Amino acid sequence: MTSLPFPLAEEPDDFSKERGRKLFAGPSEFVKGVVAMNGLPAPDRLEVCFAGRSNVGKSSLINALTGTKGLARASNTPGRTQEINFFTQGPELYLVDLPGYGYANAPLKVVEKWQKLLKQYLSGRKTLRRAFVLIDARHGVKPVDAEIMKLLDTSAVTFQCVLTKSDKVKAKEREKVLDQTRAALSKHPAAFPEIVLTSSEKGDGIATLRSIIAHLE
């Protein structure tokens, strides 16, 4: 029996779960929004970043991970968040919220500026341990998601796929999306061979994701 490529991440054992809980038990604070490389905070701690198209639930996931309501704010205007937002998680970790992508109505110059900043950040940040690419469980991988995955491939940054809003789809539909996501991920050498299924609303997968981040140290 052959194992599935990109299996779902297993529920962590008690030790791993506690390690993740402790990491995220500390205070979470917004540090700054960065629009140019010279504005980046000092690379003095472990760093993970979150990428995803607008409305994928990135802010909700960061808030669920940190247990801090309203830490990351979702913008009501598509594409308004044009900065790389840094949050501290205790003294050991930066959570980095990358600009949402996928809005065709954003001006071309703005899109080009985002892309340039993202490329510089992803290829030049030595403390960045992993990128988490968020995919809406209702829709699967879209062409714009494949673009960010390609960027991560060329930047040699390991990325892990996180399916969001998993509670919004029935099991049968979710399996179809998982099959499509696995097929898409198989084309990317930088993809970590495990998918995390989450629901920020229900709390599903949050302990798993905390544990994964805690073990990147």
Tell me the two tokens of residue 86: 């840094």
Tell me the two tokens of residue 104: 């065709």
Strand order in the sheet with 46-52: 28-34, 84-89, 93-97, 46-52, 128-136, 159-164, 191-197
Cα 148 versus chain centre, distance: 11
Beta strands in the chain (DSSP E): 28-34, 46-52, 84-89, 93-97, 128-136, 159-164, 191-197
Quick check: 135 and 205 in contact, CB under 8 A?
Answer: no
User: How are beta strands 46-52 and 128-136 bridged, if at all?
Assistant: parallel
Helix (H) or strand (E) holding 51: strand 46-52
Quick check: 25 and 213 in contact, CB under 8 A?
Answer: no
Q: In percent, how much of the chain has pLDDT > 70?
A: 92
Q: Is the pLDDT of residue 3 over 70?
A: no
Quick check: 51 and 98 in contact, CB under 8 A?
Answer: yes
Q: Which residue has the higher pLDDT, 109 or 62?
A: 62
Q: Which residue has the higher pLDDT, 172 or 100?
A: 172
Q: How many residues does the chain have?
A: 217
Q: What are phi and psi of 34, to 5 degrees?
A: -110, 130
Q: Is the pLDDT of residue 216 over 90?
A: yes
Of 168, 111, 157, 165, which Cα lies nearest the Cα of 135? Answer: 165
Residue 163, CA distances (Å) to 18, 43, 92, 142, 174 in order: 23, 28, 26, 13, 10
The pLDDT of residue 100:
77
**Rg of the chain (C-alpha set):** 16
Task: Say how far apart CA 37 and CA 32 lie, in whole Å.
Answer: 13
* Count of other CB atoms within 10 angstroms of residue 83: 17
Full-model pTM: 0.93
- Choice among 32-41, 55-64, 104-113, 137-146 with the minimum mean pLDDT: 104-113
Tell me the two tokens of residue 199: 């629901």
The pLDDT of residue 2:
45
pLDDT tens digits for range 73-130: 765 544 445 789 999 999 999 999 998 776 556 677 877 887 888 889 999 899 999 9
